[in-house]
Structure 1
Amino acid sequence: MEPNAWLTEAVAKVSDNPASIVRLFAAAGRHHRPADQARKRLLLALPPEAVPHWADDLYRHGDAAEKLAVLEALPELPLGAEAVPLLHDALRTNDTRLIAAAVGPYARHLDQHAWRHAVLKCVFVGVPLEKVDNLDQRADRELAAMVSALRAEREAAGRRLPDDAHRLLERIP
């Protein structure tokens, strides 16, 4: 079946029967490239009331690529802050793709404390700070103190902070 035909049919199935997303979400990688775009279209096809349940279920039971697709789709889904626990889970990993997705636009739902720790995690594992949505608007003195402490720790160990972390410190008053 033609990839576009598969996706068109899969979107229609999900619209009619939300539970069908489980099988189709997993199959997207075999039938459509890029798979993440197909998975996003499947999530967007869900009826709004089904989105919180299925986004959570697909993330929790998915492989890394499926988790990434859910995280990347969050800002476009009809959700409030219901999916914040998925961000917390992604930020506990060392998968830089998941961490980068977790600090994207949906991270506006993270409280300031959790957001600061997410930024620090980015610095620690090497996720470029350009991936952090709204960084200049949310960065504050407490974040600067945290990054400065990490800089001191790294310098004591003979290591450097990434250049973008130094630039962040220069921008925070």
Structure 2
Amino acid sequence: MTRPRVTPATPEADTTGDQASPRTRGDRAADGTAPAPTPPTELHRHLAERLEGAARAWLDRALEEAAAHPGTHGPISVWELRLAEAGRRCGLAHADAARVLILHAARADADTLARVYHQGTADERRAVLHALPHLVPGPDALPLVEDALRTNDTRLLAAAVGPYSARHLDAHAWRHAVLKCLFTGVAVDHVADLARRARGDGELARMLGDYAEERTAAGRTVPEDLHRVLALTESAPSAPSAPATPTHGTDHPHGKES
């Protein structure tokens, strides 16, 4: 199979567009700090340096409340109310980071995070996904990631392919997450640990090649990010040639999955 040719992007080729893409929307703090991979102590320092006095005081109170009353008290805990207020109090550019810090201060476990996720707004769901690597050491929260990956909300998808997914998604689900990013226009820069997980993955290379062929056959452009990921697999498809002479009696290392 010939490696697909990259052609300039057109408005038709990407229905999300730059305006709606995670490349340009607020899933990082204003200084570029990403909530998921940044340790909470450092995230707090960055945020405190950038908030105005009233917003900084509100965040300090919210974190104190969450630390003092981490469990649920009554129908809803005080710190959950603060999650809902974060955008108004800290500004949209800082809301994700503020919510992650509140969740961390509340020591939310997998069950609590699942409740917040399923009862929350899209912004609160995104914050839960960003908080997972800080709060859930094992795969217990994977159902939340899987739920987010079924959506077409590009900011939710970008949060879903962060460090937690890199650690815990199995190969099959992770490959489909990468394809979902390409399909929806989410930049693969959001895919945590992409180079390591894509390296030598012949099945991912096959899936990328098939997707590129489908788009080419339909007269649509092939996303530039596809070639970037394809190169990382170290097994980019090439034009058919004479069968290679086996080395040391081994078969081709990248057979198609059953």
**Which whole-Å CA distance do the structure 2 matches of 1:167 and 1:35 have between them?**
31
TM-score relative to the length of structure 1: 0.91
Which segments of 5 or more consecutive residues in structure 1 lack a partner in the other structure?
none
Q: How far did 1:143 drift?
A: 0.7
Moved more, 129-138 or 85-94: 129-138
CA distance in 1 between counterparts of 2:110 and 2:68 reads 17
Contact 1:15 1:45 in 2 (8 A): yes
Does residue 99 (structure 1) correspond to residue 157 (structure 2)? The answer is: yes
Hey, what's the Cα distance between the residues in 2 that align with 1:106 and 1:147? 23
Aligned to 1:162: 223
Conserved 8 A contact 1:51-1:79: no
| Superposition CA RMSD, Å | 1.6
Does residue 30 of structure 1 match 2:88?
A: yes
CA radius of gyration, larger in: 2
User: In percent, how many aligned pairs have the same letter?
Assistant: 50
Query: Which of 112, 126, 130 pairs up with 1:54?
Result: 112
For each residue in 1:82-125, what CA deviation from the matched residue of structure 2 results, as whole angstroms up to 9, or x when unmatched?
11111111111101111111111111211111101100101111
Q: In the TM superposition, what are the counterparts of 1:23-172 in structure 2 within 5 Å?
A: 23-33=81-91, 34-47=94-107, 50-107=108-165, 108-139=167-198, 140-172=201-233
Question: How many pairs align?
Answer: 171
- Write the distance in 2 (CA, Å) between the matches of 1:168 and 1:14: 40
Cα separation, 2, equivalents of 1:98 and 1:89: 10
Query: 2: distance between equivalents of 1:168 and 1:28?
Result: 36
- Corresponding residue of 2:13: none
Gaps of at least 5 residues in structure 2 are 1-52, 73-77, 236-258
Displacement, 1:170? 2.9
Correspondence for 1:6: 58
Structure with greater helix percent: 1
In 1, Cα distance between the equivalents of 2:84 and 2:182? Answer: 32
Partner Cα separation in structure 2 for residue 31 and residue 168 of structure 1: 39
Query: 1:75·1:106 contact (CA, 8 Å) conserved in 2?
Result: yes
**What TM-score does the superposition give when structure 2 sets the normalisation length?**
0.63
